[in-house]
Amino acid sequence: MGLRVGVVGASGAVGQTLLRILEERRFPLDTLRLLATERSRGRIIRVGEREVEIEVVRSGCFRNLDLCFLAVPGSRVSRELAPQAVAEGSVVIDKGSAFRMDPDVPLVVPEVNPDAALGHHGIIASPNCTTTPLVMVLQPLRQSAGLRRVIVSTYQSASGAGQKGSDELRQGSIQALHGHEVPHAVFGTPLAFNAVPQCDQFAEDGYTLEEWKLVRESRKILGAPELRLVATAVRVPVFVAHSESVYVETDRPLSVDEVRSILSVAPGVLVEDDPARAVFPTALRAQGTDEAHVGRIRRDLDEPTGLHLWVVADNLRKGAATNAVQIAELLTRGGL
Whole-Å CA distances, 83 to 53, 99, 257: 24, 11, 48
Looking at beta carbons only, is 31 or 189 nearer to its own copies?
189
Q: Smallest gap, in angstroms, from Cβ of residue 150 to its own copies?
A: 10
Q: Which of 122, 237, 253, 267 binds its own copies (CB under 8 A)?
A: 237
Site track 148-187 with its own copies (rule: CB under 8 A), x = hit: -x-x-x-x--------------x--xx--x----------
Q: Smallest gap, in angstroms, from Cβ of residue 149 to its own copies?
A: 7
CB 210 within 8 A of CB 200: yes
Strand partners, 32: 5
Identified catalytic residue from 61, 120, 242, 293: 242
Q: What is the largest CA-CA distance in the chain?
A: 61
Q: Which of 37, 144, 175, 245 binds its own copies (CB under 8 A)?
A: 245
**Which parts of 270-329 interact with its own copies (CB under 8 A)?**
275-276, 278, 280-284, 295-298, 300-303, 306, 308, 310, 312
Site track 190-229 with its own copies (rule: CB under 8 A), x = hit: x--xxxxxx---x--xxx-------x------------xx
Pairing of β 306-313 and β 242-250: antiparallel
Q: Smallest gap, in angstroms, from Cβ of residue 300 to its own copies?
A: 6
CB 311 within 8 A of CB 137: yes
**From CA 249, how far away is CA 200, in angstroms rounded?**
27
Looking at beta carbons only, is 265 or 278 nearer to its own copies?
278
Whole-Å CA distances, 333 to 113, 115, 118, 329: 15, 12, 10, 6
CB 220 within 8 A of CB 143: no
Q: How many residues does the chain have?
A: 336
Q: How far is CA 126 from the centre of its chain?
A: 7
**3-state SS class at 195:** coil
Looking at beta carbons only, is 75 or 282 nearer to its own copies?
282
Cα–Cα–Cα angle for 96, 161, 12, nearest 5°?
A: 70
63 contact partners, CB below 8 Å, separation of at least 6? 88, 89
**From CA 156, how far away is CA 196, in angstroms rounded?**
10
Looking at beta carbons only, is 199 or 324 nearer to its own copies?
199
Identified catalytic residue from 61, 129, 199, 293: 129
Looking at beta carbons only, is 164 or 296 nearer to its own copies?
296
Q: What residue type is assigned to position 9 of the chain?
A: G
Residue 68 bears catalytic tag: no
**Which parts of 35-54 interact with its own copies (CB under 8 A)?**
none
Looking at beta carbons only, is 33 or 293 nearer to its own copies?
293
| Catalytic (active-site) positions | 129, 242
Applying CB under 8 A, which residues contact its own copies?
Answer: 149, 151, 153, 155, 170, 173-174, 177, 188-190, 193-198, 202, 205-207, 215, 228-230, 232, 234, 236-239, 243, 245, 247, 256, 275-276, 278, 280-284, 295-298, 300-303, 306, 308, 310, 312
